[in-house]
Amino acid sequence: MALDLDGVILARHGETKDNLPPGRFQGWTDTPLNELGRRQAFDLGGLLAARSEPIASLWASDLSRARETASIAGAAIGLRPLLDWRLREGNRGRWEGYLFDEIKASDPDAYAAWRGADLSFAFPNGESLQDLQDRVIASLTDIRARGPLPALAVCHGGAIRAMLCWREHKPLDAFWEFDVPNTAVVTL
């Protein structure tokens, strides 16, 4: 049976200090929005309020950056987010909290495998891209079944990239082909 996620929309959380250059592995680290991220969430709420088909249910990752984005945007459409931990970013394991350049210098082969979306790569003590995609698909399948639709799920860049690979029928090694800026909205 084909997976049907019609009626599910994804949005990435607003900016955090760890999204800024030089870049830091956030993963499951609970990094809050910065001031720009809060403004982005407010603007996302305006976009949602202007939709011709109103959002009927609102979901979010339980990490504060997604939860806060959903709460701010949801205020514009009169919805409070329901939380699902499965919408979290990929678990970056031992790399969480480190700058990209620090990992590139200390473990260049693993870093290259990550940047190349090598299908055999998993973060040390963390997840693979397949683990991430499977977890997010399970969450979105449940969201669609629970309804009402359309449903908006506020989550993370890696989760959205994994779902874009699914939507476009591409293998996960196409992960980096997709640009997912903060508060990007993607229809599945």
The answer to whether 89 is a known catalytic residue is yes
Angle value at C-alpha 104, between 102 and 109, nearest 5 degrees: 145
Is-contact 48 97, C-beta < 8 A? Answer: no
Query: What's the rounded Cα separation, in Å, for the pair 140 and 144?
Result: 6
Q: Name the maximum alpha-carbon separation found in the chain.
A: 50
Q: 13, 68, 127, 156: which one is catalytic?
A: 13
Q: 35, 53, 68, 89: which one is catalytic?
A: 89
Q: How far is residue 175 CA from its own chain's centroid?
A: 13
Is-contact 67 60, C-beta < 8 A? Answer: yes
Query: What's the rounded Cα separation, in Å, for the pair 92 and 136?
Result: 15
Look up residue 9 and give its DSSP letter.
E
Is-contact 143 57, C-beta < 8 A? Answer: yes
The answer to whether 96 is a known catalytic residue is no
Is-contact 174 119, C-beta < 8 A? Answer: no
Active-site residues: which are they? 13, 89
